[in-house]
Amino acid sequence: MKKAAIAVGSNQGDSVRICRQVFDVLQKHPAIDILRTSSLYRTSPVGPVEQDWFINAAALLQTRLEPQALLELMIEVEKSFGRVRTVKWGSRTLDLDLLFYENIQLDLPVLKVPHPLMSKRLFVLAPLAEIEPDWVHPGLGLSVHQMLNRILELDDRQEIQKLEL
């Protein structure tokens, strides 16, 4: 079994329900064991498209799937929740991103691990820091906690609220 971390996001439909349900769907897969999930966070959208705020979370899992197979599964799960890819960084019912896979670095046309934008995304790092703060980014040499602190010090444009449900 290999250790991986994923990010979960939604800003269309019942995003809280969707983010909770996706953990159940992934846990039922025979090659995945979810070890921990974060709280849910309400976060401001990032990017050029005006849209509703997101609900975001993260999960730490063990898997027998290789990175590309895990990505393919994540895309199928997104589709099962009604995800249609039309506008880059646009609204979506479900967005799943592979953040880390063990301590490997991949740079393939369809998959980059660690996720290339994670170190700049408060909505990724805050949930991930809740469940795995000491995981070190193999390219940057910084822990999730350190990356989060850098964003909090440097970027006051991204907004985030932990949901108390």
- The one catalytic residue in 20, 85, 97, 150 is 97
Active site residue 64: no
Distance, in Å, from the CA atom of 56 to the CA atom of 78, rounded to the nearest integer, reads 14
- The one catalytic residue in 20, 52, 64, 83 is 83
Active site residue 97: yes
Distance, in Å, from the CA atom of 106 to the CA atom of 114, rounded to the nearest integer, reads 7
Active site residue 83: yes
Active site residue 95: yes
- The one catalytic residue in 20, 36, 92, 121 is 92
CA 114 to chain centre: 11
- The one catalytic residue in 14, 33, 95, 121 is 95
Which residues are within 8 A (CB) of 137 and not within 5 positions of it... i.e. 6 or more apart?
100, 114, 118, 119, 143, 144, 147
Active site residues: 83, 92, 95, 97
